[in-house]
Amino acid sequence: MTARSLTRPTSEEHSLSDSFAELTDPHRRELLVYCYRMLGSMHDAEDLVQDTMLRAWRARDSYDGERASIRTWLYRIATNACLTALARADRRVLPSDVVDPAAEVRWPLPDGRETPWLEPIPSVLVADLPQDPAAVITTRDSVRLAFVVALQRLPARQRAVLILRDVLAVPAAEVAETLGTSVASVTSALQRARARLAELAPAQAVTSAPDDAGERAIVERYLEAFVEGDVTGLVSLMRSDIELEMPPVDTWYAGRELVSAFFASRAAPGRFRARVVGLNAAFGVALYRTDGSGGFDAHQITHLTIEGGLVVRIVSFVDPSLFRMYGLPAVWPE
């Protein structure tokens, strides 16, 4: 370690740092959403944005403002950081990606904590990113859970091309420069990615503005029934082919009979507290579970997919560390 590295930064260095932050900070949130789409994990996305900013700081002298905007330059760095991370990591999954549905409800539930599970993203992070009304729908659809799950099944470079071209509308020439390839290769990769995505999540091909008020009302009924331990009320909100997943629990249930049996095995009045949250451009529930002494600890963030006025899929992310990202306390406030 040099003597210089032990001294305090000079005023010139402080000024340079402030100037750099002034240029890059406005793009931090959209980079976080981009990295989330690429990686399927908010924890990983936060790390990659930090890595992107560090790489940008180290390469600041090479930035040529005449050739590319600061936003384009940062996306280029972030894309390559994500591709590097994806090259050495398994893709993020849900239980339905790796095991068949369970035939019956059994206890204890299998623990799959070593599996890299997909994570949700707070809707507030994407609420006001684009200014164009048409882009708002595209942005919302591009973080919906089914779309993010499907993205993780694409090869990493195809994933990057699809997001950059179809979600962010980056010109093909810029994408080619970012990936160190040709426009023809980008076009080919985009066609393959679109075809594969249509197989994996065909509903995502049609963008739509959801009935927020109607969906929220259903979620609030779900929350009330859950807190009251009202299994009959919960079942009344479910479609017959409902699915339930609970990462990191390495199992899942398909069909109203099994899902209702699971809820009946754990429902009890007074056991939970809950509030509505927004995640992946949908509504869900932040659930607190009793600690046995009168308090309630953060337990899970639950995503609800609603179609035709009924819940068709429940994904409960049993990970208390996610509550921080939603600005929620670790303990239910009195």
142: nearest Cα among 171, 172, 121, 118: 121
Please state, in angstroms and rounded to a whole number, the distance separating the CA atoms of residues 305 and 315: 9
Please state, in angstroms and rounded to a whole number, the distance separating the CA atoms of residues 66 and 60: 14
Q: What does the pLDDT read at residue 62?
A: 80
Beta bridge mates, 82: none
Q: What does the pLDDT read at residue 135?
A: 52
Residue 328: CB atoms within 10 A of its CB come to 19
Structural domains in the chain, CATH included, are 9-89+120-205 (no CATH), 212-326 (3.10.450.50)
Three-state DSSP string of 41-103: CHHHHHHHHHHHHHHHHHCHHHCCCCCCCHHHHHHHHHHHHHHHHHHCCCCCECHHHHCCCCC
Token code pair at residue 154: 């694409």
pTM, 2 dp: 0.89
DSSP 211: -
Q: What does the pLDDT read at residue 5?
A: 33
Listed as own residue / partner, the contacts of 41-47 with beta carbons closer than 8 Å and 24 or more positions apart are 41/92, 41/116, 41/118, 41/119, 42/119, 42/120, 42/121, 42/122, 42/322, 42/325, 43/119, 43/321, 44/85, 44/89
Please state, in angstroms and rounded to a whole number, the distance separating the CA atoms of residues 302 and 172: 37
pLDDT in single tens digits along all 334 residues of the chain: 333 333 344 454 445 577 888 889 999 999 999 999 999 999 999 999 999 999 999 988 887 765 678 999 999 999 999 999 999 999 999 999 999 999 999 888 888 888 999 999 999 998 766 544 445 556 678 889 999 999 999 999 999 999 999 989 999 999 999 999 999 999 999 999 999 988 887 654 443 445 578 899 999 999 999 999 999 999 999 999 999 999 999 999 999 999 999 999 888 899 999 999 999 999 999 999 999 898 999 999 999 999 999 999 999 999 999 999 999 999 999 7
Q: What does the pLDDT read at residue 87?
A: 95
